Amino acid sequence: MQLFPCPFCGPRDETEFHYGGDAGNARPDGADVPIDRWAGYLYLRGNPKGSAHEIWVHMTCGEFFVMERDTVTHKVLSSAALGGEHAA
Amino acid sequence: MTASRLTTGGSAIDRSRPIRFNFDGTTVQGFAGDTIASALLANDVAVVGRSFKYHRPRGIWGAGVEEPNALVDVGGPQATPNTRATTEPARDGLVAKSVNATPNALADRNAFLDRFSRFIPAAFYYKTFMWPDWHMFEPRIRAMAGLGKVDTDWTSPGTADQINHHCDVLVVGAGPAGLAAARMAAGAGLSVTLVDDQRNPGGSLGHRAGEIDGKPAAVWIEETVAELAAGGHLILPSTTAFGIYDHNLVGLNQRHLDRRRDTLWRVRPRQIVLATGAIERPLPFANNDLPGILSADAALAYLRRHAVLVGRRIVVATNNDSAYEVASALAEAGADVTLVDIRRDGTPDTPAKVRLVKGRALAAANGKLRVGGVTLDDGTRLDADCVLVSGGCTPTIHLFGQAKGKLTWSEARAAFLPGDPVDGISVAGAAAGAVSLSEVFAGSEKAVASLGQTKAAVPRSTGPEATGGMAAAWPLPGSKGRIWIDYQNDVTVKDIELAARENFVSVEHLKRYTTLGMATDQGKTSNLPGLALMAGITGRTVPEVGTTTYRPPFTPVPLASFAGARVGELMAPVRRLPLENVHRSSGAVFQEYGGWLRPAHYGGRDADAERAIQDEALRARKSVALFDGSTLGKIEVIGPKAAEFVDFLYYNTMSTLKPGRCRYGFMLSENGVVFDDGVLVRLDEHRFVVSCSSSHVTAVHARLEEWRQDRFGRDAVYIHNATSEMATLTVSGPNARKLLEAVGLGLSLDDAALPHMTVGHGSYAGNEVRVTRVSFTGDRSYEISIRADRAEPLWAQLRQAGQAFEAVLIGLEALMILRAEKGFIVIGKDTDGTTLPHDLGSEGPRTKRQTEYVGRRSLFTEEASRNNRMQLVGLTVPQGEAPLPTGAHGIKRENGKLHSQGFVTSSYQSPTLGRPIALGLIERGATRHGETIEIQHLGKVRKAMIAAPCAFDPAGDRLNA
């Protein structure tokens, strides 16, 4: 079982977290966003091997944050609160 | 007479405490400290089980976790199938039964199968019983093959404890390497946890010679353990480290000598030292599976720990130096010992009283139910009542492998050893290939040094040292006779040759085709010989063949350990209403709805349930109904950007809502699909209450938080889930207002002051109440929210005042009928993962809204604009027919073929209308009202007419009646 560092609570068991998607997947606003752009936002993911920036939420405190981890070794490389404040 | 208990000795047994237990119906005597296996050997029980496939007689092989043969089903209060007799403590009164044997191991009635063995090689059953259908034959074949049986009558008397534990260093294995590492780490000021799967610490030092720091091994072990205990370090005997998981979480299963359930430990050490030792391999010769053939090391363990001499005329066969100590000790104990070494040169000195035969291997063991002698490869026959074999040691590197550690092949040790280090894990002792105590302690020193500790005092070996000389003796292709590789799965040399012929040469294919290395022992004795044989057949080296993937658990772990307290009601705990007990005393029948335990109906069990539900729904329309709606979502959205926030989250524009008013709307997912529906209440300019569906509260709350944090910021909006803080009591029906006026809630209920879709504030018995005038029944309704712990008097008062109006308590089932009569939907029941808001008739925001909201762009795709989308409709059936089955498909016929054109989502008998009602999602349904379609269910076709979803009071007059 992995240990994830919540920027607010410190290291906790992975069972307390939910995955929230790729970090940096900015939402395009508007009813006239090109459909390819919208489909990319909804469905296209990088699925990187190695370092990945991901959004996670620590369910017990409710805070979302950005975690960088290695998808091969499962090593956690960094974690930071959204917007950079409270960075671990 | 062959195996026997000596009159003196035995470091593990307590002769002052005799015990008796039952094995296969006969009484076995032993002493406290015996395992089932040591006691069986002391009583000269040779045949202890039958093999998996051929029902061959099998005896005890080892003295530890590697045991492939001696599995027993332990019955009674701690019933456990497939327990290893070699690790299970013998207890007074215990009842054990051999596995895969009927009626018992000695006289098994399926033993005839072995005579047909040449016709049933690997994969025989799968190849032969293909036609007409494997599943036809499977039950009978499974009944004949297999291992232990689960006692299904037995239920757990308690639950297993689960403990989370942290320490600086976890040392796995309390042999010389582990004890030394633990002592050095403790000496350096680290907190140590030491686990070992045996009852007593010491590992091989418990039966092998050794002198450390000038003291006998037993004294050094005792001192070391005492020092660790005095230092406050945790020592767990009878505990197996069965798995290393991500981020070096280690799973331990601790067995108890009393009748408690095993304990599961989840350990988070900073560092792990694996001192897991090594396991002795068998040697290949014909009939090498006969009872009476044991691991040489195990025989020494039985002699020195349990004072059991395993035979009188013993042949010890070896390819390495370690068996010489065994031969010597057995000869000293009075056995007639012949030592057969495959090596011609480089052997150690011949031990006293032992006959040594050099340069010879065993060709075959002779005997039927137990070994009676051996034939050497030159044809010489030797009488023997016991044969001990030592084929070299396989380091126990399973945990290292589980941690994704790479292995390297050592030709000198003829084994895989740990390769490049893994973060946080070091390996010491025999597991790392060490043989002598000096090598072992040097390895422990290195392991502790790798933790950053270098100052520790290293133990010194001061006695004679073990030597590691050996000549590999792998099974060879084309060997004569039946040579067992895997005892537990009945895999022979010929089976592996067959696999190679059929091109199952990859190690993972080999395992699955022949079952080599499967089942409870996971090939602890058999894997390496099997790989070496495959290497020999295919002209590869052993490292080229490779190993199968190491996966937890190292030894079987009871499911009860993993379950812990999460059994019965605690497996998936339900959420409970504050008024549950009050409802129980009113005769409520409870059911789980979306994680909540709620009254389904009041009174009327089983066959009467439907009548009770119909009665509740009918009476609710007549006068007034009381319903506990406490599970309804009450998520508060507060802050300067609250209005902007709800606008974005809802499909409907919500910022135009005036304070004190309510509006119904949808929340969508980004793919446009309707995620939840419900009423939004605006309490004041900057404060809203999201009244979402009961079963969606957690998900809606998470979604609100995600958008708040991702898009709006912490300072703009604050979200508070107040769902369980307040109870919500619903009063619905033509007399709802009159009833509330009788109770008195401290606010005007006049329709001018509190019209439909508004919120008011009052008080009851000094407690604030929030009265929301919304309706899920279609009748005039009031939802009264009050602090959960103050709800009971109000509910009692509502019921008392209700007597004058013949008020009825309704459960969720009646409510479902009432809302379906009105065509009100339940998300996830009347919608699915493709339903868009305009499929439900809500077209306005899609066509008119100019501001951004979740899911907006997805409502304008080609898919969303299809003209044959499934749309919400009502369905009516001809007079006198029964309700349609929920889930039945609307069908259409095209070119003689049937196609689905949607399905029934909700269907009930309406007591008010006196006919069935139904909702459904039907292709283009909104434009087809009045059309009759065919509905098919389980091959039966009926007719139904498409109608508007609302079947009752379509003008909505009753809201204000």
Tens-digit pLDDT profile for residues B697-755:
999 999 999 999 999 988 899 999 999 999 999 999 999 999 999 999 999 999 999 99
A82 contacts chain B (CB < 8 A): yes
A81 contacts chain B (CB < 8 A): no
pLDDT confidence bin for B156, thresholds 50/70/90: low
Q: How far apart are CA B202 and CA B231, in angstroms?
A: 19
Chain B positions in Cβ-Cβ contact with residue A2 (cut-off 8 Å) = 246-247
Q: If DSSP codes are grouped into helix, strand and coil, which group holds residue B868?
A: coil
Task: Tell me if B861 and A63 make a contact (CB, 8 A cut-off).
Answer: no
The beta-strand segments (E) located in B377-454 are 381-383, 386-390, 393-395, 407-410, 415-418, 425-427
Chain B positions in Cβ-Cβ contact with residue A33 (cut-off 8 Å) = 857
Chain B positions in Cβ-Cβ contact with residue A64 (cut-off 8 Å) = 705-706, 709-710
Asked if residue B56 has pLDDT above 50, the reply is yes
Task: Tell me if A1 and B247 make a contact (CB, 8 A cut-off).
Answer: yes
Residue of B nearest to A18 (CA): B702
Biggest distance spanned by C-alpha atoms of chain A: 44
Residues A68, A71, A76: CA angle, nearest 5 degrees: 40
Instruction: For residue A31, give how far its alpha carbon lies from the nearest alpha carbon of chain B (Å).
Output: 5
Task: Tell me if B247 and A2 make a contact (CB, 8 A cut-off).
Answer: yes
Asked if residue B915 has pLDDT above 60, the reply is yes
Ranges of each domain in chain A: 1-25+46-88
State the complex-level ipTM: 0.95
Task: Tell me if B706 and A64 make a contact (CB, 8 A cut-off).
Answer: yes
**What pLDDT score does B31 carry?**
98
Give mean pLDDT, residues B883-908: 95
- How many CB contacts within 8 angstroms connect chain A with chain B? 46
Give mean pLDDT, residues B236-248: 96
Query: Is B313 within 8 Å of B336 (Cβ atoms)?
Result: yes
Size (chain A), residues: 88
Instruction: For residue A70, give how far its alpha carbon lies from the nearest alpha carbon of chain B (Å).
Output: 12
CA A51 to chain CA centroid, Å, is 12
**What pLDDT score does B807 carry?**
98
**What pLDDT score does B77 carry?**
66
Percent of chain B whose predicted confidence (pLDDT) is above 90:
87
Q: Each residue of B103-133: pLDDT tens digit?
A: 888 888 888 888 878 777 787 777 777 777 8
**What pLDDT score does A86 carry?**
40
A1, A77, A86: best to mutate for the B interface, most B CBs within 10 A: A1
The strand pairing partners of B731, in sequence order, are B626, B782
**What pLDDT score does A87 carry?**
37
pTM (2 decimals)? Answer: 0.89
Asked if residue B580 has pLDDT above 60, the reply is yes
Query: Is B888 within 8 Å of B944 (Cβ atoms)?
Result: no
Query: Is B451 within 8 Å of B445 (Cβ atoms)?
Result: no
Closest CB to A1: pick one of B246, B671, B711.
B246
Per-residue pLDDT of chain A (88 residues; tens, 9 = 90+): 899 999 999 999 999 999 999 999 999 999 999 999 999 999 999 899 999 999 999 999 999 999 999 999 999 999 999 875 443 3
CATH, domain A1-25+46-88, list 2.70.170.10, 3.40.640.10, 3.40.50.20, 3.30.2270.10: 3.30.2270.10
**What pLDDT score does B104 carry?**
85
Lowest mean pLDDT among B122-131, B235-244, B508-517, B828-837: B122-131
Percent of chain B whose predicted confidence (pLDDT) is above 70:
99
Asked if residue B78 has pLDDT above 80, the reply is no
Chain B positions in Cβ-Cβ contact with residue A35 (cut-off 8 Å) = 861
Closest CB to B710: pick one of A3, A62, A82.
A82
Helix or strand (DSSP H, E) at B537? helix B527-538
Closest CB to A64: pick one of B246, B709, B852.
B709
Question: What is the Rg, in whole angstroms, of the alpha carbon atoms belonging to chain A?
Answer: 14
B713 contacts chain A (CB < 8 A): yes
Query: Is B836 within 8 Å of B856 (Cβ atoms)?
Result: no
**What pLDDT score does B134 carry?**
80
Query: In A, residues 10-69, which contact B (CB 8 Å cutoff)?
Result: 14, 18, 20, 27-31, 33, 35, 38, 41-42, 57, 59, 62-64
Task: Tell me if B709 and A30 make a contact (CB, 8 A cut-off).
Answer: no
Q: Each residue of B832-888: pLDDT tens digit?
A: 999 999 999 999 999 999 999 999 999 999 999 999 999 999 999 998 999 999 999
Residues B416, B289, B381: CA angle, nearest 5 degrees: 110
Closest CB to A42: pick one of B268, B671, B711.
B671
Biggest distance spanned by C-alpha atoms of chain B: 113
Closest CB to A31: pick one of B266, B711, B860.
B860
Pairing of strands B575-576, B596-602: parallel
Give mean pLDDT, residues B555-580: 92
Q: How far apart are CA B428 and CA B439, in angstroms?
A: 9
B423, B709, B712: best to mutate for the A interface, most A CBs within 10 A: B709
Closest CB to A20: pick one of B246, B706, B860.
B706
pLDDT confidence bin for B138, thresholds 50/70/90: confident
* Among candidate residues B732, B740, B746, B725, the one with its CA nearest the CA of residue B791: B725
In the predicted model, what is the mean pLDDT of chain B?
A: 94
Lowest mean pLDDT among B225-239, B597-611, B816-830: B597-611
Show the tokens assigned to B931: 């059309």
Q: Each residue of B424-467: pLDDT tens digit?
A: 999 999 999 999 999 999 999 999 998 876 677 899 999 999 99
Task: Tell me if B856 and A31 make a contact (CB, 8 A cut-off).
Answer: yes
Q: Establish how many alpha carbons lie within 13 A of residue B313's alpha carbon, considering only the half-sphere containing its beta carbon.
A: 9
